[in-house]
C-alpha cells in the first residue's frame, strides 16, 4: 500500500520548478529512493538539493539577448534520484527560427568588431565562469550525474576554451603569397563563415558548447545552441554569464527543447538558408541525419561523433601505469565519454597480472553514489536505457564465454556496477559497439600485428590508447592506429591546446588547438592587379 501511494505521488505532476520547495515534492523524491535504489549505499537515501544562486538557474530560452518562454515546458531530472530539478521552456521550430534570425542580424555587426574586442569579451566570459565555478559544477552534477570533482574539472576544461579562443582570435592571420606576376599581389584573407548552429550532447553539458562557441565567436560568427534535453541548465547558465560579460544580443542564443521537439528544431537549424555552418557533437547515427539535412543548402559541417577506443597493453608496458590509465580512461564520467577506452587488448605475457592489479584497483578506488557526495567516484548513468545497454552487453559476453571478475549487475535506477570482464573475444557485442558505460572488457592477444588488426577493425576512429616502453613499437603503433587522437602511456588526453576529432565515421573537422578556429572561417583569395611596381 505504501509503495502504491509512493508511486501515485511520484506520477503526480509537480507545480514546483525547484527542488525541496514543497512537502509533496520532497516526499515524491524519498519514495523514488525507496522504490528504485535499495542496493545503493545508505547515503543515497538522503535528500539532495540543488542550491545554486538564482541568476544561474535559468529555465527560459535565450534569444536576441532576451529570456523567452515557450508554449510548454519540459522537466529536467537528476539522473541519480529521478527528482525534478526544474521545468524548462520547450522551444520549437518557431523559437529556433527567431534565434536564427537574431543571430543573422547580430552577425552583421559582430563580424565587424575587431579581433581584440572579441578577445576581451571571451576573456571576460571565461573569468565569470571561474568566478561561478562551484555553482556551474553543481548544475552539471545534478543534471548529468557526474561527481563534483569531475564537474569542477569540466568547468575548468569548458572555460579553458573561452580563454584559449580569446587568444586565438587575435592570431587569425591571412597570407600574402609570392606572386608569379609583376603587376599583381595575391592575398588570402580569413573571414567568419556566418551563423553557426551548434547541437550538443548531455555528457559534457558545458564543455561541448564552449569548445565550439569559443572558436565561432572568436572568428566573428554568431551562434544558436541547442543543448541536449537532459542537460539544458548548464547551457542556460552559460547564456546568463555571456550576458553579464557583455556579449551583444543575438551573438549567443540558446534554444532548449524536449526530445519530442528536437527533430523540428534540428530541421530549422540544419536547413535554414541563413545558417552557414552546423557543428554537432553526439552519436554517429544523429550526425548522419544532420549531415543529410544540411546537404540541401550545402552548409559547412563539423561532426564530433561516436568513438570505440581501443586500449592496448603490450608486454613491455609498465603495468601499474597501464592500470591507472585504464581506470582513468574507462571510469571517468562512469564510462560516458566519447574518448573512454571501450575495448581492452592485453598481451599474453602480462594478461593475468594486469587483470589482478586492475581488479584490486577497482575495489579500492571506485565508489558509487550521488555525484554531490565527496566520497563518490561513480555517479549514475544518464538514464535507465543507458544502464540496460551495459547489462545487455554483459549478458551477451557471458553467454559467449566471458568471465565476470568484478560487478556485472545493474542496481536500481540507472546505477550500474563498474564491471570487469575477462576472456572476452571479438565476436562479443561489447567489442563491436560503443558501450558508453562502466564496462571494461579484456581481450588477450599475442602479437603487435594481431592487436593492431583488431583495434583497427572498426568503422569509427576517435581516440586510441596504448602502453609500451619500446620506443620503436611506440612509433609503429602510434602511426598505425586508425584514430584521430592517440594516448601513449596516458589515459586522459584532452586539453584546449591540443586538437580534438576523429577519423572514419567518428566525424569531420577538429576542435580546440590552433585548428579549431578554422572550422568557422572561410579563406578568400583577393587578386590585387594593375599595379605599377
Ligand atoms: P545523440 O542522441 O546523438 O544526441 C546529441 C544531441 O543531438 C542532443 O542535443 C540531441 O537532442 C540532438 N539530436 C538528436 N536527434 C536530433 C535531430 N534529429 N535533430 C537535431 N538534434 C538532434 O547523442 P547522445 O546519446 O546524447 O550522446 C552520446 C554520443 O555522443 C556518443 O556516441 C558519444 O560518443 C558521442 N560524443 C561524441 C563526442 C565527440 O567529441 N566526438 C563528445 C561527446 C559525445 P535530444 O537530447 O533532445 O535528443
Q: What pLDDT was estimated at residue 273? A: 98
User: Running DSSP on this structure, what letter comes out for residue 368?
Assistant: B
Q: How far apart are CA 50 and CA 78, in angstroms?
A: 9
Q: Label residues 76-105 b or e (16+ Cβ within 10 Å = b).
A: bbbbbbbbbbbbbbbbbbebbbbbbbbbbb
Tell me how far apart the alpha carbons of residues 306 and 461 are, in angstroms, rounded to a whole number.
8
Dihedral, 158, 163, 164, 167 alpha carbons, nearest 10: 160
Lowest mean pLDDT among 24-28, 228-232, 293-297, 343-347: 24-28
| Structure confidence at residue 42 (pLDDT) | 56
Whose Cα sits closest to atom 15 in ligand 1?
286
Burial of 491 (0-12, 13-18, 19+ CB in 10 A): buried
Is residue 65 over pLDDT 70? yes
185 has a pLDDT exceeding 70:
yes
Q: Tell me the C-alpha distance between 82 and 33, whole Å.
A: 8
| Residue 23 confidence (pLDDT) | 30
Cα(472) to centroid of ligand 1, in Å? 38
Ligand 1, atom 14, lies closest to the CA of: 286
Contact 98, 64 (CB under 8 A): yes
Phi, psi of 376 (to 5 degrees): -70, 135
pLDDT of 15 strictly over 70: no
Q: At what angle do helices 471-480 and 448-456 cross, to 10 degrees?
A: 20
Predicted confidence band of residue 40 (pLDDT cuts 50, 70, 90): low
The region of weakest confidence among 13-22, 89-98, 149-158, 338-347 is: 13-22
43 CA to middle of ligand 1, Å? 32
* Residue 44: per-residue pLDDT: 62
DSSP state of 511: B
Q: Tally the C-alpha atoms within 13 A of residue 336's C-alpha that lie toward its C-beta.
A: 26
Q: Provide the pLDDT for residue 215.
A: 98
Q: Could you identify the atom of ligand 1 that is nearest to the CA of residue 507?
A: 41
Q: What pLDDT digit, counting tens, does each position of 258-283 carry?
A: 999 999 999 999 999 999 999 999 99
Task: Tell me, in angstroms, the distance from the centre of ligand 1 to residue 230's CA.
Answer: 11
**Res 38: pLDDT:** 47
450-500 residue pLDDT tens: 999 999 999 999 999 999 999 999 999 999 999 999 999 999 999 999 999
Percent of the chain with pLDDT strictly greater than 90: 91
- 22 pLDDT band, cuts 50/70/90, is very low
Atom nearest to 202 CA in ligand 1: 26
Helix (H) or strand (E) holding 72: none
Strands (E), 260-336: 275-281, 300-304, 309-313
Residue 69 pLDDT greater than 50, yes or no: yes
Q: Where in the chain is the domain with CATH 3.40.309.10?
A: 310-495
Check pLDDT > 60 for residue 25: no
Cα 332 to the center of its chain, rounded Å: 12
Q: Whose CA is nearest to atom 36 of ligand 1?
A: 282
- Residue-level pLDDT at 47: 81
| Per-residue pLDDT reduced to its tens digit, 359-377 | 999 999 999 999 999 999 9
pLDDT of residue 46: 75
Q: Kindly give the distance from the C-alpha atom of residue 283 to the centroid of ligand 1, in angstroms, as a whole number.
A: 5
From residue 78, give the alpha-carbon distance in Å to each of 18, 105, 331, 391, 414: 12, 37, 20, 21, 11
Please tell me which residue in 144, 270, 338, 340 is annotated as part of the active site. Answer: 338
Residue range(s) of every CATH 3.40.605.10 domain in the chain: 61-305+511-521
The pLDDT, as a whole number, for residue 41 is 58
β-strand 275-281 against 195-199: which pairing, if any?
parallel
Q: What are the pLDDT digits (tens) for 382-437?
A: 999 999 999 999 999 999 999 999 999 999 899 999 999 999 999 999 999 999 99
Class of domain 61-305+511-521: alpha beta
Q: What is the pLDDT of residue 412?
A: 82
Does the annotation count 304 as an active-site position? yes
Give me the CATH code for the 310-495 domain, please: 3.40.309.10
Most informative mutation of 90, 198, 283, 389 for ligand 1 (most atoms within 8 A of CB)? 283
Mutate to test the pocket of ligand 1, among 89, 201, 299, 506 (most ligand atoms within 8 A of CB): 201
Q: Taking all residues of the chain, what is their mean pLDDT, rounded to a whole number? A: 93
* Ligand 1 binding residues, C-beta < 6 A: 199-203, 226, 228-229, 259, 262-263, 266, 281-283, 286, 289-290, 304-307, 338, 434, 436, 462, 502, 507
Measured in Å, residue 304 CA sits from the centre of ligand 1 at 9
331: pLDDT confidence band, cut at 50, 70 and 90? very high
Residue of 163, 168, 229, 304 marked active site: 304
User: Distance, CA 365 to ligand 1 centroid (Å)?
Assistant: 30
Pocket test for ligand 1, best of 255, 286, 414 (most atoms within 8 A of CB): 286
pLDDT over 50 at 141, yes or no:
yes
HSE-CB at 282 with a 13 A cutoff on CA atoms is 21
Amino acid at each position: 500500500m505504501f509503495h502504491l501511494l509512493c508511486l501515485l505521488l511520484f506520477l503526480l505532476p509537480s507545480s514546483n520548478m525547484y527542488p525541496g520547495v514543497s512537502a509533496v515534492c520532497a516526499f515524491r523524491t524519498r519514495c523514488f529512493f525507496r522504490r528504485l535504489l535499495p542496493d545503493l549505499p545508505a547515503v543515497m537515501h538522503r535528500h539532495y538539493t540543488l542550491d545554486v544562486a538564482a541568476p544561474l538557474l535559468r529555465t527560459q530560452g535565450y534569444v536576441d539577448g532576451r529570456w523567452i518562454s515557450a508554449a510548454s515546458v519540459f522537466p529536467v531530472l537528476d539522473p541519480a534520484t529521478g527528482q525534478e530539478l526544474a521545468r524548462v521552456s520547450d522551444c520549437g521550430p518557431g523559437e529556433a527560427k527567431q534565434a536564427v534570425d537574431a543571430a543573422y542580424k547580430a552577425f552583421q555587426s559582430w563580424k565587424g568588431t575587431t579581433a581584440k574586442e572579441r578577445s576581451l569579451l571571451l576573456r571576460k566570459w571565461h573569468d565569470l565562469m571561474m568566478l561561478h565555478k562551484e555553482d556551474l559544477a553543481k548544475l552539471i552534477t545534478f543534471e548529468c550525474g557526474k561527481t563534483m570533482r569531475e564537474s569542477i574539472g569540466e568547468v575548468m576544461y569548458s572555460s579553458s576554451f573561452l580563454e584559449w579562443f580569446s587568444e586565438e582570435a587575435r592570431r587569425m592571420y591571412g597570407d600574402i603569397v609570392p606572386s608569379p606576376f609583376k603587376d599583381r599581389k595575391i592575398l588570402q584573407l580569413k573571414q567568419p563563415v556566418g551563423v553557426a548552429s551548434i547541437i550538443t550532447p548531455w555528457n559534457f553539458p558545458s564543455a561541448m558548447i564552449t569548445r565550439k562557441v569559443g572558436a565561432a565567436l572568436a572568428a566573428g560568427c554568431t551562434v544558436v545552441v541547442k543543448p541536449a534535453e537532459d542537460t539544458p541548465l548548464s547551457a542556460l547558465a552559460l547564456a546568463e554569464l555571456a550576458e553579464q560579460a557583455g556579449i551583444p544580443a543575438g551573438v549567443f542564443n540558446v534554444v532548449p527543447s524536449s526530445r519530442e521537439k528536437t527533430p523540428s528544431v534540428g530541421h530549422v537549424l540544419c536547413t535554414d538558408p541563413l545558417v552557414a555552418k552546423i557543428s554537432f557533437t553526439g552519436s554517429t547515427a544523429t550526425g548522419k541525419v544532420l549531415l543529410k539535412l544540411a546537404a540541401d543548402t550545402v552548409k559547412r559541417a563539423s561532426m564530433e561523433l561516436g568513438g570505440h577506443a581501443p586500449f592496448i597493453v603490450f608486454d613491455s608496458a609498465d603495468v601499474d601505469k597501464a592500470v591507472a590509465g585504464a581506470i582513468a580512461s574507462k571510469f571517468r564520467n562512469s564510462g560516458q565519454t566519447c574518448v573512454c577506452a571501450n575495448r581492452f587488448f592485453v598481451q599474453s605475457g602480462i594478461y593475468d597480472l594486469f587483470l589482478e592489479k586492475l581488479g584490486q584497483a577497482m575495489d579500492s578506488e571506485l565508489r558509487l553514489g550521488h555525484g554531490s557526495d565527496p566520497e563518490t567516484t561513480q555517479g549514475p548513468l544518464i538514464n535507465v536505457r543507458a544502464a540496460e545497454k551495459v547489462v545487455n552487453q554483459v549478458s551477451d559476453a557471458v553467454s559467449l564465454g566471458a568471465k565476470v571478475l568484478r560487478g556485472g549487475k545493474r542496481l536500481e535506477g540507472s546505477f550500474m556496477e563498474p564491471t570487469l570482464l575477462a576472456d572476452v573475444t571479438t565476436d562479443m557485442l561489447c567489442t563491436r559497439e560503443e558501450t558508453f558505460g562502466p564496462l571494461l572488457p579484456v581481450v588477450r592477444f599475442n602479437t603487435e600485428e594481431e592487436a593492431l588488426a583488431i583495434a583497427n577493425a572498426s568503422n569509427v576512429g576517435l581516440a586510441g590508447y596504448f602502453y609500451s616502453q619500446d620506443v620503436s613499437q611506440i612509433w609503429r603503433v602510434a602511426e598505425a592506429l586508425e584514430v584521430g587522437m592517440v594516448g601513449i602511456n596516458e589515459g586522459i588526453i584532452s586539453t584546449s591546446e591540443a586538437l580534438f576529432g576523429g577519423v572514419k565515421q567518428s566525424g569531420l573537422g577538429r576542435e580546440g588547438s590552433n585548428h579549431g578556429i578554422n572550422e568557422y572561417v572561410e579563406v578568400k583569395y583577393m587578386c590585387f592587379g594593375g599595379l605599377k611596381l
